[in-house]
Chains A and B, each alone.
Chain A
Amino acid sequence: MKRILCTLALCTVPFLSACKKSGEAAGGDDQLTIAFLPKSKGNQYFVTCEKGARAAATELGAELLFDGPTTSDPAKQNEIVENWISLGVDVIAAAAENKDGLSTALRKAQAEGIKVITYDADAQPDARTFFVNQATEKGIGDALLDNAAALVGKEGEFAIITANLTASNQNAWIAAIKARQAELYPNMKLVDIKPCDDLKDKAQQETTNLLSAHPNLKAVISVCSPGVPGAAEAVKQAGKTGVVKVVGLGLPSENKAYVKEGVTQAVILWKVEDLGYLTIQAAAALAKGELKPGATEFKAGKLGTMKIEGDNILLGTPFAFTKENIDQFDF
C-alpha cells in the first residue's frame, strides 16, 4: 500500500528522492510517512529547515514528503494538507502561514487518524498535539540583552530598533528585554525604541539619529531582521565601529559582512537546521506512540534530551552568530 502511495505522491510532490530510497531500505507496511509543510519552499530559511528534516528522516528510516507553496499562500497550504490526507500519510509537521486557516485543514487530518505537529509558526492548540517552539519570547529577549550586556560590560545606554510599534512579536521581545534589564542589569538604560517599518534604510536613518541624539549610546539592539544591517551601516558611517555595539535578531547571511568587519558583534537566531531535525524526530516519535501528551522531556536523536513545556517542545536557547562561527552558516 505504502508503495502505491509513494508512486502516487511522486506525481504530485516534487521532492521525493528520500521516498524511494527509504522505501527500499525499510520496506514493509510499518514504515513511517512524514509530511513536512513549510510556509513557502523557495525561502532559504525553510530550505535550511528541510536539510535538518532530511537528516532526521534518514536516521529514522522514514519517508519524508516535503511540499509547500512557492510563495506565502495560506490557501495553497490547505490544498497540500488535503492531498496528504487523501494520500494517508502517518504524520504531518506544519508551519502555519495563517493560524486559523490551516487549523481547519489540520483538524480534518486528525479526524482521519493522522498525527499532527506544528513547528516555527503554531496553529490552534486543538489542531495539533505538539508545537516545536524554536524560541520562547523570553528566550529571545534574554539572548539579545545578555549578548549586548556582555559586550558593554553591563553598563551604559542602549536603544532598540523594532519593526513597528504595534508588532506583537517584537513587543513581546521588547517586554522580555525590559524585564531582564530590570532584573539583572541595573546599570544599563534603555533610552529609546524606534520603528523601522521592516526597512533596512529606515533603520539606518533611525540609528543615525539615535547616535547623534544620544552621544553616550553604547549599544543598539535590533529586534527585527532588516534593522540589524541598517543599524550596522549607520554605526559604520558614524565612524563608531566597535564603540557602539550592534546586536540583533536576523539571518547570518544578511549580516556576514558587518560581523566580519566588526561592526555587528552578534546576530541571534536559532539553528534553523536543528529546528527541522527536531521537528521530524518529534513527529516520528508521536506517530509511533513514543511521545505522548503530558510528556516533560523527549530524546531527539543527536540533539539529546529536549525540554517540553506544556505542549511546546523547546529547541532551547537561541544561538549567537559571531565573527568566530558565522562562516559555517549559509542561510
Chain B
Amino acid sequence: MNGKYSREISVAAALGLLLVALALFAPNFYELQPLLSRTTSQMPALVAAIGITLVIITRQIDISIGAQFSLCGVVAGLVAAAGMPLGVAVLAAVGAGAFLGAFNGLLVAWLGLPSIVVTLATMVTWNELLRLWQQGRFMNLPAGFQWFGLSQAAGQGVVIGVAVALLLAAAWSMKNLAAGRRVYATGTDAEAARLAGIDPKWTTFGVFVLMGALAGIAATLNLVQSPQVQPNAGDGLELKVIAAAVVGGVAINGGRGNLWGVLLGLLLLANVNPALTHFKMEPYWERAIQGLVILLAVIADGMKRTKKAA
C-alpha cells in the first residue's frame, strides 16, 4: 500500500475487522457499561502514548515512563491521603512527572547521553526507590476521591473527556504550532534543524519534560478509577505505549508519525485481550498476537525504507 496515510489505513482496517468480528460473534462486547469501563481504563495509556509519540518523533526513547507513572501515582496518592483537595494532588503528580522528565531531558539533551541508557537507568532507580519507600503496600485513597467525587458514569466521562481533549490539543499543536514543527525537524535531522535556527537541545529537553508531565496526568487519570493505589501501577506501561506508537506508524528513527495512527495502534493492541476473552480463546494468545502485530508493523516500516532507498 502506498500513500501518506497507508499505515493508518491498514491499522484501522485491522481494528475494524476485529470490531466487526466481535459484533458478529460476541455482541456482549458492546454492552454499554463494560465498554465504558474498558475505554476508561485505557485512557491513562492514551495520555502516556501522546508523550511517547513526541519523544520518538524527536528520535529519542523513554522507557522510564512506567516508573514515572508509578511514582506520580504514589505522590498524588500521598497528597490526597493527607487531606489535600484533588487539584493539589493533580498538580503534585504533574510537577513530579515534569521533574522526573527534566532529569532525563537534562542528561539526554545536554550531556548527549543515549536516551535508552539514561531512561533504563532512571526506570530501574525510580522503581527500586519506590519499592524501598512503599514496600509494595497499597495506599487507600480518601472517600470521594474516586471519580472526582462524581457518579461513576460522570467520572468516566470526565476521564475520557480529559484524555481526548489532550489528544486533540496535542494533534493540533503538532501540526499548527512552531513548537510542533521543531519536534519533527529535530527528529528528522538535528544538524539541519540547528542550521535552520531551531535549538535541538531545548526541543529535546522540552519533549522529555512534557513526557513526564503527561505521565503525571496519566497517573492521576488512573488514580481516580479506584479507591486504592498500587505503588507499581505503571509496570509494563512503557512496552504498551511504545508498541502502540510503533504499530501506529511512528518511525522509531524519528521525524515521522502522527497521533491518529498512535490512537489506532493503541485501540488495536488494547482490544486483542478483550476479544480473546469474548471469543473464549486461551489467554496464551494475547502476547503472541500483540507481538505479531508489532512485528508486521516493523516489517512494513523496513520495506518502506528499502523501497525509498532503492
Q: A199-B235, A208-B41, A254-B138 are in contact. Are A165 and B283 (CB under 8 A)?
A: yes
Closest CB in chain A relative to B256 CB, distance in Å: 31
A7 interfacial contact with B, CB 8 Å: no
- CB of B228 within 8 A of CB of A229, answer yes
- CB of A213 within 8 A of CB of B277, answer yes
- CB of B233 within 8 A of CB of A201, answer yes
B304 interfacial contact with A, CB 8 Å: no
**How far is it, in angstroms, between the C-alpha of A194 and the C-alpha of B273 when the chains are bound?**
10
**How far is it, in angstroms, between the C-alpha of A139 and the C-alpha of B77 when the chains are bound?**
36
Closest CB in chain A relative to B117 CB, distance in Å: 25
**How far is it, in angstroms, between the C-alpha of A233 and the C-alpha of B138 when the chains are bound?**
14
Closest CB in chain B relative to A308 CB, distance in Å: 32
A-facing residues in B4-61 (Cβ within 8 Å)? 26, 28-29, 31, 33-34, 37-38, 41
Contact with A along B217-252 (1 / 0, CB 8 A): 000001001111010110110000000000000000
- CB of B230 within 8 A of CB of A226, answer yes
Q: A199-B236, A213-B277 are in contact. Are A205 and B41 (CB under 8 A)?
A: yes
B131 interfacial contact with A, CB 8 Å: yes
B87 interfacial contact with A, CB 8 Å: no
Please pick, from A42, A71, A213, A226, the residue contacting B280 in the complex, using a CB distance under 8 A.
Answer: A213
Please pick, from A71, A194, A209, A238, the residue contacting B278 in the complex, using a CB distance under 8 A.
Answer: A209
A186 interfacial contact with B, CB 8 Å: no
Please pick, from B136, B226, B278, B284, the residue contacting A229 in the complex, using a CB distance under 8 A.
Answer: B226
**How far is it, in angstroms, between the C-alpha of A325 and the C-alpha of B208 when the chains are bound?**
49
Query: 9 A–B contact pairs at CB < 8 A?
Result: A71-B132, A197-B235, A199-B230, A199-B233, A199-B236, A209-B274, A213-B274, A226-B230, A238-B33
Please give 8 more A-B residue pairs, beta carbons under 8 A apart, in addition to A44-B135, A199-B233, A213-B29: A70-B132, A192-B277, A195-B283, A201-B233, A209-B274, A209-B278, A213-B26, A257-B227
Q: Which 9 A-B pairs have the closest CB atoms?
A: A212-B34, A209-B277, A213-B278, A209-B274, A200-B230, A254-B138, A213-B277, A212-B28, A237-B37
